[in-house]
Amino acid sequence: MSVTLRHPGTVLTDHVFPVPLDHELPEGEQIEVYAREVVAAGREHEELPWLLFLQGGPGNPSPRPLGQDAWLGAALQHYRVLLLDQRGTGRSTPVNRQSLALRGSAQHQAQYLAHFRSDAIVRDAELVRRRLLGEGTRWSTLGQSYGGFCTLAYLSYAPESIRESFVTGGLPGLRTSVEDVYRAAYPRVAAKNRAHYARYPQDVDAVRDIAAHLVEHDVRLPDGSPLSVERFQYVGMLLGQGSGSDTLHYLLENAWIRGVSGPELSDVFLETTRSLVSAGGAPLFAALHEPIYAQRSVDPGGTRWAAQRVRGEFPGFDAAGALEKGEPVHFTGEMIYPWMFEQDPALAPLSEAAHLLADRGDWPDLYDTARLAANEVPVYAAVYHGDMYVDRDHSLATADAVPHVRTWVTNEWEHDALRVSRGKVLERLIGMAHGEV
C-alpha cells in the first residue's frame, strides 16, 4: 500500500516495486525497488508530465526532500518527480556487508553484485514506468553524475520511453577504457590540489605535518580502524565540490590538540575524517566504482584495480616521496583502491568479492553506440569545465557522437551544482528545452 504524506509545499507518495534480480531471468529471484513520488502541493490531482531522477553514485540513494529544497523547486514547476532509490540503495533491497553475508561465498557475493550496474538500473526504471504510468507512456529523466551514465544506458536500451533527458555533470565516455578514465582523472585532481594550496598556502605545511605523523604513528579512527597516509589522502574527494576546498581547510584547522604526551590528532579531526573516508553509508560506491566503467568490448581484461595501477604514472601522489623531497602532499580524488577493503570495516567483509569483480573480464557492454548514433531524444547537458569527477573532454566527445545532445559548458559551478545552485542549473537546462536559452 502506498503511503502519502505532506511536507511544506509538497505531497510525497511512497511506491515499492518488485523487480527481477537478473532481468534475463524475469521469473527468478525478485528484489524490491523503492521510489518516492513528489508533486507540488495543490497540484497532486493534475495531469503533469513525469520526471525520473537518476542519482549520482554508484550506490547512493535518491535525496530525501525537505519541501521544495535544492533543485526540486525548479522541477516541480513543470513535473511530477519520481526519486528512485536505485537497486541496492536506500529503501530498495539493501546491499552491504550485512546483507551480502547471507549470500554465502565470495563468488556468490560477486555474482550478486554484478547485477547492480546501470544496465540493471534502467531496466528497473522501465518496469517502474510501465507499472506507474502505463504502457506506451514516456517520461523525462534527470541524471546527476552517475545518473548521467544511467541516462546514456537508458537511451541505449529504451529511448522510446524518454521524452527528454537532462544531465548534470554526467556524460560518460562511451568507448573509454577504465585505464583512460584514471589517466584523465589524476591530472584533474592534481589541478584541484594546486588550486587548494594556492588558496590556502598554510595548508601545505599542515598536511605535511599530518602525513608525517601518520607515517610515524599508529593512528586509529574512532571506529578502531587505521588512519594511514593513503586513507588520509582520500579526503581529497572534497576538492571536487563547490565548497570542498573550504571544508578541507576547516578540517585541517582542527587537526591538533595537546595531550599528555604532547601534540596529537584531535578527536574532532579524527571523527570528521572517519565520516569522510568510511564507505559504511555507501559500500556499493566502493565495490562497483570501477565496474561501472567496464565493458567487455573495451576492457576485455577487466578493471584489475585500474586506479591503483595507473597511480604509479603520477608520482605527485606519492606521499612518502613528497615528504622526502619537501614537496606538498597531494590528496587523491574519486579513486577506489584495493587497500580500502583492508582498512575500512564496512568494506573488509567484501574484500574477496571485490577482487573477483576486479578480475572479471566479461562485463556486458553498457552503451549501444549504433543506437546512440541514431538518437532522436533531446538531451540537455551541463558540462562543468573543471569537473574533478567526470572528464570534460570525454563528455564533449560523447555529446559530439550522440545526435540531439545540446551542452552548456560552464566554469561557474562544480560537480555538485545541481544540489547547491538553488535550482539555477536545472532552470537553465529546462530553459534550453523550452527554447528560452
The set of residues, in sequence order, having a beta carbon less than 8 Å from that of 93 and lying 6+ positions away, is 31, 32, 33, 87, 99
How far apart CA 189 and CA 194 sit, in angstroms, is 9
145 is catalytic: yes
pLDDT in tens, 247-268: 999 999 999 999 998 999 999 9
Q: Which of 145, 245, 395, 421 is catalytic?
A: 145
pLDDT for 4 beyond 60: yes
- Residues above pLDDT 70, as percent of the chain: 100
Q: Which of 2, 218, 362, 434 is catalytic?
A: 362
365 is catalytic: no
Domain 4-173+367-433 CATH class label: alpha beta
- Cite the residue boundaries of each domain of the chain with CATH code 3.40.50.1820: 4-173+367-433
pLDDT category at 2 given cuts 50, 70, 90 is confident
How far apart CA 402 and CA 159 sit, in angstroms, is 12
Which amino acid is located at 64 in the chain?
Answer: R
What secondary structure does DSSP assign to 132-176, as a single string? Answer: HH-TT--EEEEEETHHHHHHHHHHHH-GGGEEEEEEES----TT-
pLDDT in tens, 141-163: 999 999 999 999 999 999 999 99
Which amino acid is located at 146 in the chain?
Answer: Y
415 is catalytic: yes
Q: Find out whether 380 and 151 touch, Cβ atoms under 8 Å.
A: no
Residue 3: burial class (beta carbons within 10 Å; 0-12, 13-18, 19+): exposed
Q: Which of 119, 415, 416, 421 is catalytic?
A: 415
The set of residues, in sequence order, having a beta carbon less than 8 Å from that of 326 and lying 6+ positions away, is none
How far apart CA 324 and CA 42 sit, in angstroms, is 64
pLDDT in tens, 295-341: 999 999 999 999 999 999 999 999 999 999 999 999 999 999 999 99
Which amino acid is located at 184 in the chain?
Answer: A
Q: Find out whether 341 and 351 touch, Cβ atoms under 8 Å.
A: yes
The set of residues, in sequence order, having a beta carbon less than 8 Å from that of 119 and lying 6+ positions away, is 153, 157, 364, 366
pLDDT category at 1 given cuts 50, 70, 90 is low
